[in-house]
């Protein structure tokens, strides 16, 4: 059932199976991932990170309650157990017919979940930009849209262009929309940078152009970076992502003046410094090859 859901999410988002839904299993016997068209990580011992932990008695004498309250293990936002573990600190409890569901309150963010499993994602570069010590990292496998507004300074454009070029150089494919000067992106070696046609900007509905581009080239969006972006781009993105329901909403990183999309993370206006720090932090998070 979980492998079927993994394939469904992969088809919906265009991600590789393991990036659409991370699955880990603590079992003695495995299945053939290639035959199942799935990507499940199998463990003979230890506990892997995840959002949902399913406990059917495989822990033996150890209990979920003990793992959390005594050993400080973080088992995720949901714990589905075949036995009643009693009350668990930080979790709501729902009883059913031979099952108990625990819900973390408040839940961990999806960003924090991605950071916990980053070493197991299908990824070449790993973290691309990290805007915060925890819960603020963008990864190379994610489908992202970056909008650069007219007021973004040349030094900031240069820093952003360097990050994008590195990302694309390792197989990533973010959609980059640049209003105004785009020579920094060309100089950095960025590919396929979109510059809105000048003749549509004064039109009543320039967002129609962007909606068409998004529907054809980026039907699924994991993250939006809106950097002093014009209002019409935000109107189009709001309409586009409103159709993207049922799995997860995009992570929105934006400068303070952005409207129409609710920002999960608001950047200060010194974008050159912000992106320099975010790039350096991301590089420090990547595994070091010997």
Residue 222 sits at the vertex; the CA angle it makes with 242 and 267, to the nearest 5 degrees, is: 95
Number of domains forming the structure of the chain: 2
Instruction: Give the span between the Cα atoms of 164 and 194, in whole angstroms.
Output: 13
Successive 10-residue mean pLDDT values, the chain, 290 residues: 93 92 84 91 78 78 87 88 92 94 92 80 83 92 96 95 95 94 93 82 74 94 96 94 87 91 92 96 77
Tell whether 242 is covered by a domain.
yes
What confidence score (pLDDT) does residue 122 get?
66
**167 in the same domain as 54:** no
Tell whether 151 is covered by a domain.
yes
This prediction's pTM? 0.88
Instruction: Give the span between the Cα atoms of 106 and 190, in whole angstroms.
Output: 40
**235 in the same domain as 163:** yes
**158 in the same domain as 193:** yes
What confidence score (pLDDT) does residue 50 get?
78
Q: Name the region of 102 (left: φ>0; alpha: ψ -120 to 50; beta: rest).
A: beta
| CATH number for the domain that contains residue 140 | 3.40.50.1220
What confidence score (pLDDT) does residue 28 get?
77
- The 3-state secondary structure of 130-186, one letter per residue: ECCCCCCEEECCCCEEEEECCCCCHHHHHHHHHHHHHHHHCCCCCEEEECCCCHHHH
Is beta strand 23-26 parallel, antiparallel or unpaired with respect to 265-266?
unpaired
Which of 87, 112, 137 is the last residue in one of the domains?
112
Question: Which H helix or E strand runs over 113?
Answer: helix 110-116
| Residue in this structure with the two tokens 């990292």, named with its chain if needed | 137
What confidence score (pLDDT) does residue 231 get?
92
Q: Spell out the residues 6+ positions from residue 238 whose beta carbon is closer than 8 angstroms to its own.
A: 260, 261
What confidence score (pLDDT) does residue 289 get?
47
Q: Give the domain extent around 14.
A: 2-112
């Amino acid at each position: 059932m979980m492998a079927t859901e993994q394939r469904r999410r992969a088809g919906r988002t265009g991600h590789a199976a393991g990036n659409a839904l991370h699955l880990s299993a603590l079992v003695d016997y495995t299945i053939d991932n290639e035959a199942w068209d799935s990507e499940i990580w199998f463990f003979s011992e230890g506990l892997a990170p995840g959002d949902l932990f399913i406990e059917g008695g495989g822990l033996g004498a150890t209990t979920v309650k003990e793992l959390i309250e005594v050993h400080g293990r973080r088992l995720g936002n949901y714990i589905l157990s075949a036995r009643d573990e009693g009350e668990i600190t930080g979790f709501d409890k729902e009883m059913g017919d031979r099952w108990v569901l625990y819900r973390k309150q408040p839940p961990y963010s999806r960003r924090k979940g991605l950071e916990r499993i980053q070493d197991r994602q299908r990824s070449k570069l790993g973290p691309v930009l990290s805007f915060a010590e925890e819960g603020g990292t963008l990864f190379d496998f994610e489908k992202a849209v970056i909008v650069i507004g007219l007021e973004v300074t040349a030094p900031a454009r240069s820093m952003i262009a360097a990050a994008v070029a590195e990302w694309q150089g390792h197989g990533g494919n973010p959609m980059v929309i640049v209003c105004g000067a785009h020579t920094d992106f060309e100089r950095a070696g960025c590919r396929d940078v979109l510059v809105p046609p000048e003749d549509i900007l004064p039109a009543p509905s320039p967002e129609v152009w962007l909606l068409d581009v998004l529907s054809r080239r980026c039907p699924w969006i994991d993250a939006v970076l809106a950097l002093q972006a014009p209002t019409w781009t935000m109107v189009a993105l709001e309409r586009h992502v409103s159709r993207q329901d049922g799995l997860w909403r995009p992570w929105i990183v934006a400068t303070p003046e952005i409207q129409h999309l609710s920002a999960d993370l608001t950047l200060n206006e010194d974008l050159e410094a912000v992106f320099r720090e975010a790039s350096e932090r991301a590089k420090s998070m990547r595994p070091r090859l010997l």
